[in-house]
Structure 1
Amino acid sequence: MSGFLAEIGKKVAERWVALLALPGLLFLAAAVTSWTLGHRHALDPAVLGRQVTVWSTDPATRSFGGLVVIMVACTVGAVAVGLAASGLGHAVERLWALQGARAPARWLVTLRRRRFERAVRRVESAGTADAAARAIAMADRICLLQPARPTWIGDRLRVPRVRVAEAYGLDLDSCWPHLWLIVPEESRTAVQAARDSLNAAARLTGWSSLYLLLAVWWWPGAVIAGLLFATAWSRARMAAATLADLVEAIVDLYVGDLSDRLAPARQAVPLTGRSLTSLLRKSRWDPDYPGAWSSESETGQARDAH
């Protein structure tokens, strides 16, 4: 047991260093550089070298107590900055998943829908198969369905819900926890890896926001922030596409197994998508509201399937 706990502690420490400590120390180094150089000497290493020499020859920093204080301050500062970046990353993920019901997110949805509609019109007016294929690819780059979220990532993660509902009459949110329990370990590992990649991209966006603050004193901070943001956005798009494809593939491959496993609970033949949704949501299918489920205890109260 002690060996197991030691191994867990080692893995947690390694993850803590990778996610918080090292990036935090890099940011602190950039912050010290920005404070030392400013805009005027932004790319002058000689100025930075002279300042480092002054600090290294200061008796206060050369003493044992001074070194301990510096090490503690750097460690605490790196962790604090890392936690701030993680918090900003969580906020970024929430922004990516916004539904766009209110302004200004609603305005972004409208703009994306107009772009998509123009792309669809180009598909319809294409004179050749090659032109149609290029127009379809352009429309798909905007969204695989008509946009309903203010961001590309939000729409890409929405697509599996819509497709699963249309193909199987199944509410993905209700069935997913049950599917997760029956899929093989390698499938869960692949989904978790894609989810971790999306989290990492959001966290990198948080780091880009922190580096952008340094641009107030040191203009290269804006360049670093731009590079980080571009990298984060590219990785986030790839991670979101991979995650959405994996989720949809798991439903396609294992929804039949889920139906077979749940059928004995109702003493029935394998369930249809609507029956599965009714069972898993502890509700009944309301034929008067196609595409919606209503609760047994609240007859007539319809809920949106998506």
Structure 2
Amino acid sequence: MTGFLGEVGKKIAERWVGLLALPGLLFLAAVITAWQLGYAHALDPAPLGRQITAWSTDPGIRTVGGLVLIMVVCALSAVGVGLVASALGRAVEWLWTIQGACAPARWLVTLRRRRWERAVSRAESATTAGAAARAIAQADRICLREPDRPCWIGDRLRVPRVRVEEAYGLDLDACWPRLWLIVPEEPRLAVGAARESLATAARLVGWSSLYLLLALWWWPGAVIGAVLFGTGWSQARAAATALAELVEATVDLHVGDLNDRLAPARGVAPGTGRALTTLLRKSRWDPDYPEPAEP
């Protein structure tokens, strides 16, 4: 048990270092660079080199206590910045999947829906197979069903729910937790990896916002932020596609197993269920629970 807990702790530490500490240290290095160079000398390493030399010769820093203090401050700052980026990533995921009930999200849904309807109309009125194929492809690039989310990623993740209900009459939200308990390990790992890839992409976009904020003092931050945003958005689209397809494929391949496993549950009458509830609760306040035997 001690070895198992040690291995778990090691994996958690590696995950924190990879997700928070290292990206945080890189951002802190960028902050120090921006502080020293600014806009006037954005790409001139000389001022930064002189400052690093001055720090390295400072008697207070060269002591053991000074070095330990700097290491602790840097580590805590890096983890703190990483936590901020992770929180921004979760906010980005929420924005990607938000519903279009309120403005301005509703306006984006209307815009995407009109584009999709125009593509569908062109496909239905096409006079050649090539024109129809191009129009269908354009409609599918917008959304595989009528758009209902302001963001492409949100709609891509919504489509499996719609198609599963169309094909099987199943509510995916209701059946997925039960289906997840019976699927083999391989599809579970694949779905989990796709979900983690989507979260990683959202964190990249979160980091991009921090670098774009840094661009107020150091213009290369805008370049770094733009690259991170583009990479995160591209990775998020690929991850959303993979996750949606894997979820739908899991339902297609294992919905029969779910039906078989739930067959005994369909034979449980409400009275039997209530009796089981009474037995499992063991509450003296339940009127159906048997009175304790007299001593």
For residue 14 of structure 2, give the secondary structure of its aligned residue in structure 1.
helix
In 2, the alpha carbon distance for the partners of 1:55 and 1:63 equals: 12
Q: CA deviation at 1:101?
A: 0.2
AA of the residue aligned to 1:8: V
In 1, the alpha carbon distance for the partners of 2:200 and 2:104 equals: 26
For residue 254 of structure 1, give the secondary structure of its aligned residue in structure 2.
helix
- Deviation sequence 1:121-162 (CA, Å, 0-9, x none): 222333322222222111111111110000000000100111
In 2, the alpha carbon distance for the partners of 1:14 and 1:45 equals: 32
* 1:221 counterpart = 2:221: yes
AA of the residue aligned to 2:146: Q
In 1, the alpha carbon distance for the partners of 2:215 and 2:71 equals: 26
AA of the residue aligned to 2:65: G
For residue 66 of structure 1, give the secondary structure of its aligned residue in structure 2.
helix
- Deviation sequence 1:45-89 (CA, Å, 0-9, x none): 122212211211222222222111111110000000000000111
Aligned to 1:244: 244
* 1:31 counterpart = 2:44: no
Aligned to 2:61: 61
In 2, the alpha carbon distance for the partners of 1:221 and 1:122 equals: 43
Q: CA deviation at 1:183?
A: 0.6
In 1, the alpha carbon distance for the partners of 2:176 and 2:197 equals: 20
In 2, the alpha carbon distance for the partners of 1:215 and 1:232 equals: 19
AA of the residue aligned to 2:157: L
Aligned to 1:255: 255
Q: How does 1:170-249 map to 2 (within 5 A)?
A: 170-249=170-249
Q: CA deviation at 1:265?
A: 2.0
In 2, the alpha carbon distance for the partners of 1:150 and 1:213 equals: 25
* Number of aligned positions between the proteins: 268
Report which of the two has the higher share of helix. 2
Q: How does 1:31-110 map to 2 (within 5 A)?
A: 31-110=31-110
CA root-mean-square deviation: 1.2
Aligned to 1:8: 8
In 2, the alpha carbon distance for the partners of 1:115 and 1:52 equals: 55
Aligned to 2:273: none
AA of the residue aligned to 2:29: A
In 1, the alpha carbon distance for the partners of 2:235 and 2:204 equals: 10
Unaligned runs of 5+ in 1: 269-306
Q: Percent identity?
A: 75
TM-score by length of 2: 0.89
- Deviation sequence 1:212-257 (CA, Å, 0-9, x none): 1100100110110000000000000111111110111111111111
In 2, the alpha carbon distance for the partners of 1:18 and 1:242 equals: 23
AA of the residue aligned to 1:236: A
Aligned to 1:121: 121
In 1, the alpha carbon distance for the partners of 2:267 and 2:78 equals: 58
- Deviation sequence 1:158-194 (CA, Å, 0-9, x none): 0011111111111000000110011110010000000
Q: CA deviation at 1:99?
A: 0.7
AA of the residue aligned to 2:85: A
In 2, the alpha carbon distance for the partners of 1:42 and 1:121 equals: 52
For residue 20 of structure 1, give the secondary structure of its aligned residue in structure 2.
helix
Q: Which moved more, 1:111-120 or 1:194-203?
A: 111-120
AA of the residue aligned to 1:259: N
